[in-house]
């Protein structure tokens, strides 16, 4: 199947069209709706040999709907249409800024939706009778790793995951600064970047050259109380680490805005005239 123009939707708006799949695979037939979240389960071809049923090769796919994901997606869509009710003033300001169509660098719809989903589950779901979302997430986590709650965002390559990470950090940090007693938010974050030490092109090499001096500041002999402070990456205009979780003390507070410059946090945070 050759599709002359495979692009049906704008990356800045919720998808409203998709190509239909049939038993043979993708078709060029356009369906006027968003594709539901689903996944493919390979089905082996059955073949009899010497009276036994054997599976020799994968020949087809079966599409199964992600009912849990689609149900959450629908709830978030209703909440979005209603104006993001049930969130903190800080969260509402961030959502308004990130969704502003007049932004110089507009965000992809998938980036906004990823953040909206995290916010809805954390701040609003229980207020609208959707406690089942968190309960189910906890149940899934207990089945996989009892006692360790983990929630993941799954995004495709090229959709801007790093910016979403920055937005999540800004959302948590600014809410924690506004209300330090709110246990829903954190001011301590671990960013794991396994690609930083891998062999790559000039761009990756330059990145390693910037990261290594920062990592050398912390070693086995570094007192635990100093590790967060020494990893605070300073550069003009901002900081990478706004607060130290230890005893709630600020690790660095000499720059207004706190999270102005780390991996796109400047673009993800509030406008400069509101960073006061």
Instruction: Return all residues near 268 (Cβ < 8 A) that are at least 6 apart.
Output: 98, 163, 166, 167, 169, 170
234 CB-near residues (< 8 Å, 6+ apart):
240, 252
Mean pLDDT of the 197-216 span: 55
pLDDT in tens, 74-130: 999 999 999 999 999 999 999 999 999 888 899 999 999 999 999 999 999 999 999
Residues 6+ apart with CB under 8 A from 118: 151, 153, 168, 171
**Interval 14-35 mean pLDDT:** 90
Q: What is the pTM of this model?
A: 0.68
Reported as a single tens digit per residue, the pLDDT across 140-167 is 999 998 888 888 888 888 899 999 999 9
Q: Give me the chain's average pLDDT, please.
A: 76
Would the pLDDT of 218 be above 50?
A: yes
Predicted confidence band of residue 29 (pLDDT cuts 50, 70, 90): very high
pLDDT digits (tens, 9 = 90+) for 39-73: 877 776 666 566 555 555 545 567 888 999 999 99
d(CA 250, CA 248): 7
pLDDT (0 to 100) of residue 276 = 38
DSSP output for the chain: ---S----S-TTS----EEEEETTEEEEEEESSPPPPEEEEEEEEEEEETTEEEEEEEEEEEEEE-HHHHHHHHHHHHHHHTTSTTS-HHHHHHHHHHT-TT-SSPPPHHHHHHHHHHHIIIIIGGGGT-HHHHHHHHHHHHHHSTT---------TTS-HHHHHHHHHHHHHHHHHH-TT-TT--S------GGGGS---HHHHHHHHHHHHHHTT--TTS-HHHHHHHT--EETTEES-----GGG--S--SSTTSSSSSTTHHHHS--GGG--
Q: Kindly report the length of the chain.
A: 276
**Token pair for residue 62?**
């079966």
Domain residue limits, the chain = 18-65, 67-185
């Amino acid at each position: 199947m050759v599709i002359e123009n495979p692009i049906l939707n704008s990356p800045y708006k919720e998808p409203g069209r998709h190509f239909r799949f049939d038993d043979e695979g993708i078709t060029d037939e356009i369906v006027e709706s968003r594709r539901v979240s689903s996944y493919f389960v390979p089905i082996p071809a059955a073949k009899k040999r010497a009276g036994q049923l054997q599976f020799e090769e994968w020949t087809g796919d079966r599409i199964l709907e992600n009912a849990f994901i689609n149900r959450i997606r629908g709830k978030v869509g209703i909440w979005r249409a209603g104006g993001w009710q049930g969130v903190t003033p800080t969260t509402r300001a961030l959502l308004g800024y990130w969704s502003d169509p007049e932004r110089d660098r507009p965000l992809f719809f998938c980036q906004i939706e990823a953040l909206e989903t995290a916010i809805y589950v954390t701040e609003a779901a229980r207020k609208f009778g959707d406690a089942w979302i968190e309960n189910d997430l906890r149940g899934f986590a207990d089945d996989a790793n009892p006692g360790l709650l983990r929630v993941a965002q799954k995004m495709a390559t090229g959709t801007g995951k790093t910016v979403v990470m920055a937005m999540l950090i800004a959302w948590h940090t600014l809410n924690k600064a506004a209300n330090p007693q709110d246990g829903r938010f954190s001011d301590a974050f671990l960013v794991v970047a396994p690609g930083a030490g891998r062999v790559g092109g000039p761009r990756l090499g330059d990145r390693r050259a910037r990261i290594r001096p920062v990592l050398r500041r912390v070693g086995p002999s570094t007192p635990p109380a100093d590790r967060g402070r020494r990893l605070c990456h300073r550069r003009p205009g901002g900081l990478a680490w706004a607060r130290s979780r230890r005893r709630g003390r600020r690790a660095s507070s000499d720059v207004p805005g706190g999270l102005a410059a780390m991996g796109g946090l400047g673009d993800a945070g509030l406008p400069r005239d509101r960073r006061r």
